[in-house]
Structure 1
């Protein structure tokens, strides 16, 4: 079940991230301004983040066995729309991107689904492994432009839609919710209101905003920073950014495992100390080799481990029937 859930997360995130690699091409094709280009990339990200709140609550109610195939199938619609007609105008791109945000909600399905399958002392590692599915954004970055150059701009969308369709069928046939899963009977609105009254919701949201927000900020801004601060070529800066992202993804399960062994709170304490120290060191722009490189790698490792530790904390402290709702709110942070 963990493997199927991780695959679903990665595939949906692949679809969710399709527009970002194509943004420069779309800007040239449609004559978009820099603001319009940024808006096209931002719309699915914002919708996907906020959409995790209701999707997490629905997962508590209906389970991952229903929600994974449903969200995967629903994501096919905007992917095909964007690939067949949606790239013809800014309005169509924004409309397609808005619905494409559905793919970004898959994270809020997987955390409660995976958590229910494992005992408390193994949930951190399991959720960390599942969280590595955020590497689906790397699949989009590595394949989208290549497919568009080799065939046409439609190709990456058609390929992704086909993979989503296969996964939706496989998930519907093979996914099973954990035995004894607690199914809440309250309405979605009442459960969300109850979730907002839990202290773990706000504590984990603040922590996740730091660790995952830092990861997102660096994965977006690092190439430009390296080019400006150190004079690196664009290709070299992009490769270093890819290494930063890869290390952060690989460290997410490590953060979950360490949380199982030592507790998520001590792990988060160390993680935040490392992030703070690296940020202070980088403020002085040390030489890139070796100090700057080591500092960036340490920060990537800490941000990835911290993301895994936050959801280990959510799984540990949240009521079993509210893990999805809490995950949705925290994931939106």
Structure 2
């Protein structure tokens, strides 16, 4: 009889490391601050439009620019996280975002649209924080619990709700400039705390491969393209509605919804997605991510159709948007539960960066499309919403044809 004095590597790999939950929660809080900064322009879009005399196209552009930069920047940040670790990248992204927020403050104070556009471009850096958090969180948990880990970290999206709810209220209460100084200060404090308190998982091993080979390696994996498409729908839809919903509500329901009310409704939308995301991750761990993704996409298609009918503002509208956000949250949790077990461990950061970038890009185009397809005579965005229905229906078909995680073991050498 052999006495085992230590757990085997296989058994050890199935046990979360000590302090794992604490580290992921800290990363989630840091991500919350980053998302608040990233989405700080959207809640004030009507203020900018009034003070600078902006038209529909210009408003759509200032809303979409941070999203575009945040999306593309995730490819770089994801690959750099593979090399330098989550602790360094969290601190760096948060610190670099400070001057961007200050530039937004300056642009709004002097009422300069060109400077606000430049500031929005710089502010996109804050949105790249997500690409640092997924590989950081994944490394702390075994493969069978990575849906949960990434679901918890994904709750940092609540920074979107924080921005929608608090930014207009802070501006009304303490002023425009002090509000942005407060956001910049929170970014600096969060950066310092990340440097002092975060630590990379003992399971994490740096990948010294240069950026371009990493990205090429990620793009050679089939799972990268499949998950990028799905995430472009679920997260892209969330980002698009989070940035454009205040504009949508104040345009479609101008007599019922003011700037603060639109911010409150947008915050509820974001909270619903945030709550649903870890639920999607847990359900994906239990039932498989494919099933949850199909439920998510089916819900998005049905609810987008209802929104496209432009129902009267009230309970039906509110419930519809909350259910849509919940469907998107479930899908986000499912996609990253799909990514982890289907990706070689040394490429998780790179694949995450590409998939996260695709999600951001999915949120870049809808505000532009909504602005371009707005019918001023009927005050309707129905054409843009019909496009969402059609794209969602196509994604539902594609997801039904994909292989679940259990069928990919041979592709990546196991679920570890």
> TM-score of the superposition, structure 1-length normalised?
0.90
> What is the CA deviation profile of residues 122-154 of structure 1, one whole-angstrom value per residue up to 9, with x for unaligned ones?
110111111111110111122222222223221
Q: How does 1:296-315 map to 2 (within 5 A)?
A: 296-315=321-340
Q: Do the aligned partners of residues 99 and 224 (structure 1) sit closer, same or farther apart at CA in structure 2, a change above 3 Å counting?
A: closer
| Residue in structure 1 matched with residue 166 of structure 2 by the alignment | 143
179, 196, 199: which one pairs with 2:219?
Answer: 196
| Residue in structure 2 matched with residue 269 of structure 1 by the alignment | 294
> What is the CA deviation profile of residues 177-219 of structure 1, one whole-angstrom value per residue up to 9, with x for unaligned ones?
0003122132111010111111111010111112122323444
Q: Distance in 2 between matches of 1:95 and 1:230?
A: 31
Structure 2 residue matching 1:234: 3-state secondary structure: coil
Q: Distance in 1 between matches of 2:195 and 2:279?
A: 30
- Aligned-residue offset at 1:286: 7.4
- Work out whether residues 56 and 325 of structure 1, in 8 Å CA contact, stay in contact via their aligned partners in 2: yes
| Residue in structure 1 matched with residue 6 of structure 2 by the alignment | none
| Residue in structure 2 matched with residue 125 of structure 1 by the alignment | 148
134, 151, 159: which one pairs with 1:111?
Answer: 134
- Aligned-residue offset at 1:239: 4.8
Q: State the superposition RMSD in angstroms.
A: 2.6
Q: Distance in 1 between matches of 2:163 and 2:313?
A: 28
| Residue in structure 1 matched with residue 352 of structure 2 by the alignment | 327
| Residue in structure 2 matched with residue 2 of structure 1 by the alignment | 24
Q: Distance in 1 between matches of 2:304 and 2:209?
A: 44
- Aligned-residue offset at 1:230: 8.4
Q: Do the aligned partners of residues 46 and 121 (structure 1) sit closer, same or farther apart at CA in structure 2, a change above 3 Å counting?
A: same
Q: Do the aligned partners of residues 40 and 237 (structure 1) sit closer, same or farther apart at CA in structure 2, a change above 3 Å counting?
A: closer
Greater mean alpha carbon deviation, residues 148-157 or residues 97-106: 148-157
Q: Do the aligned partners of residues 165 and 224 (structure 1) sit closer, same or farther apart at CA in structure 2, a change above 3 Å counting?
A: closer
Q: Distance in 2 between matches of 1:38 and 1:285?
A: 20
Q: Distance in 2 between matches of 1:292 and 1:94?
A: 32
| Residue in structure 1 matched with residue 281 of structure 2 by the alignment | 256
- Work out whether residues 252 and 308 of structure 1, in 8 Å CA contact, stay in contact via their aligned partners in 2: yes
71, 87, 95: which one pairs with 1:65?
Answer: 87
72, 93, 99: which one pairs with 2:122?
Answer: 99
Greater mean alpha carbon deviation, residues 235-244 or residues 69-78: 235-244
Structure 2 residue matching 1:2: 3-state secondary structure: helix
Q: How does 1:25-64 map to 2 (within 5 A)?
A: 25-64=47-86
Structure 2 residue matching 1:18: 3-state secondary structure: coil
- Aligned-residue offset at 1:293: 5.9
Structure 1 residue matching 2:65: 3-state secondary structure: helix
Q: Distance in 2 between matches of 1:249 and 1:125?
A: 13
Unaligned runs of 5+ in 1: none
Q: Do the aligned partners of residues 253 and 232 (structure 1) sit closer, same or farther apart at CA in structure 2, a change above 3 Å counting?
A: farther
- Work out whether residues 85 and 136 of structure 2, in 8 Å CA contact, stay in contact via their aligned partners in 1: yes
Q: How does 1:212-291 map to 2 (within 5 A)?
A: 212-220=235-243, 233-235=256-258, 239-279=264-304
Q: Distance in 2 between matches of 1:328 and 1:180?
A: 20
Q: Distance in 1 between matches of 2:104 and 2:265?
A: 30
Q: Distance in 2 between matches of 1:329 and 1:251?
A: 23
Q: Distance in 2 between matches of 1:191 and 1:135?
A: 30
Greater mean alpha carbon deviation, residues 29-38 or residues 171-180: 29-38
- Work out whether residues 30 and 90 of structure 1, in 8 Å CA contact, stay in contact via their aligned partners in 2: yes
Q: Distance in 1 between matches of 2:309 and 2:224?
A: 35
Q: Do the aligned partners of residues 222 and 26 (structure 1) sit closer, same or farther apart at CA in structure 2, a change above 3 Å counting?
A: closer
- Aligned-residue offset at 1:94: 1.8
Unaligned runs of 5+ in 2: 1-22, 359-416
Structure whose alpha-carbon radius of gyration is higher: 2
Structure 2 residue matching 1:176: 3-state secondary structure: coil
Q: Distance in 2 between matches of 1:227 and 1:23?
A: 10
